[in-house]
A = this chain, B = another copy of it.
Amino acid sequence: MNFEDLIQDVYQKIEKLEGQGETASYIPELAKVDPSNFGVHISTMNGDNYGAGNYNDKFSIQSIAKVLSLILAYRILDHKIWERVGVEPSGTAFNSLVQLESDRGIPRNPFLNAGAIVVCDILLSNLEHPKQEFLDFVRSISNTTTIDYSKKIARSEKEVGYRNVALCNYIKSFGQIENEPTDVLDFYYDVCSLEMSCKDLSELFLFLANDGSDIKSNKSVLNERQSKRVNALMQTCGFYDESGEFAFKVGLPGKSGVGGGIIAIHPDQYAIAVWSPQLNKKGNSYKGMKFLEEFTTRSELSLF
């Protein structure tokens, strides 16, 4: 069965699953999204593109954007970035503050909120117009000019972001944030408010399946070593408390967001994006996880 048929087939099967889970409730704007949305899009190294369902609708990519901010900061600092943030999985969320204490303000990895906040601080220190330059960067690697921030989402998240204020100021108290916490968090909320479609995402992330280079222009976004690092990080830390489970069930490097989106990379093969806003107990898209599990099992393209 080719990818196109497989996508359709699995899509139809998973679509029928009874609705499970809730949309993210802690961000008021996200709670309003129609829970029945479900979209999938794959972009392959051969240049093929297939989508199903709401694959062209834009949604809040939330934490998936942490990969994009990491990539930009990584381009700037190269390996020196690892002096500010670690590369190891973190265990439970519960440990996050304890670890910041024992590690003196160095977050365990860039996909934790604490780590992504440090990455935003790095960008603030190194870019003249961080908000615009980050958006330009994302648009440039996606070859899409329609990608944009959502002011509503950013504001909505900021209004309830007490824990992020706590994290950022706690790290600052160890001297590991260079800018004013308010500025760092404003930028952080902008980054997380990016809206893209499944199509945008799979096309944008395809370079990570291609050793860091854009598949059409062959221009390097990251060098091969950096690209491998980002994939390895997504493999071990991309799914919060469910990273081990995702490694087993799907077997690909990936990253999820509380907006219900998931991006996954099969090195040398494809990038695939899924979106369904209902979340399982661990905060990852319920149908998204199910789709990718079924898809990799049937395509026998898990890494393991």
- Give the copy number: 4
Give a binary string over A181-209; 1 marks a CB under 8 Å from any B CB, 0 the rest. Answer: 10000000000000000000000000000
Q: A14 to nearest B CB, angstroms?
A: 19
- The answer to whether the Cβ of A69 comes within 8 Å of any Cβ in the partner chain is no
Which chain B residue has the least Cβ–Cβ distance from A265? B304
Give a binary string over A81-104; 1 marks a CB under 8 Å from any B CB, 0 the rest. Answer: 000001111111011011101100
CB atoms of A95 and B91 under 8 A apart = yes
Q: A35 to nearest B CB, angstroms?
A: 25
CB atoms of A247 and B236 under 8 A apart = yes
Give a binary string over A216-235; 1 marks a CB under 8 Å from any B CB, 0 the rest. Answer: 00000000000111011101
User: How many residues on chain A are close to B (CB under 8 Å)?
Assistant: 49
Which one of A95, A166, A267 has the highest number of Cβ atoms from chain B below 10 Å of its Cβ? A166
- The answer to whether the Cβ of A173 comes within 8 Å of any Cβ in the partner chain is yes
A88-B89, A95-B95, A97-B97 known; 15 new pairs, CB 8 Å cut-off, are A87-B245, A88-B91, A88-B242, A88-B244, A89-B244, A90-B91, A92-B99, A94-B99, A95-B98, A98-B98, A162-B170, A166-B170, A228-B304, A235-B303, A236-B243
Binding site for B on A (CB under 8 A): 86-92, 94-95, 97-99, 101-102, 108-109, 162-163, 165-170, 172-173, 181, 227-229, 231-233, 235-237, 241-245, 247-248, 251, 253, 267, 302-304
